[in-house]
Amino acid sequence: MGYDLHISRAEEYYDSDAHPIPLDEWLSYAEGTPTLRAVGWLGRDEERQPHYEHTCADGSVVSLTWFEGAIEIKGRFGGDAYREFGAIAEDLQANLQGDHGERYTARGVLPPTR
């Protein structure tokens, strides 16, 4: 199913600009992570940054990009994508959240906070 996940240090991913993951920190992490591959560029001139891909355990390929202090993960996920991306969020001392506000860790779905 096509769905977006967000890695953010904010309580809600849409507030990531208030509690950002700095771009240079993300780039350093991504470049040092063998499961992430730089596959192109987004933006222009000094705003330009690499775009990364990750092949999930089920073979699906998703994209990861930095946007306004958060990491946006887009693609068609099969299986338990939170297990793979929950670990990245934990490495970055951040949260993994879906489009509808659900929260994940590398071990599973967290209960709603509301």
pLDDT tens per residue, range 60-114: 899 999 999 999 999 887 767 777 898 899 999 999 998 888 888 877 666 666 5
Which pLDDT tens digit goes with each residue over 30-63?
999 999 999 988 877 777 889 999 998 888 899 9
Distance CA 51, CA 70 (A): 13
Break the chain into its structural domains and give their ranges. Answer: 2-109
Cα dist. 32→9, 29, 45, 83 in Å? 20, 5, 24, 19
93: Cβ contacts below 8 Å, ≥ 6 apart: 9
- pTM across the whole model: 0.87
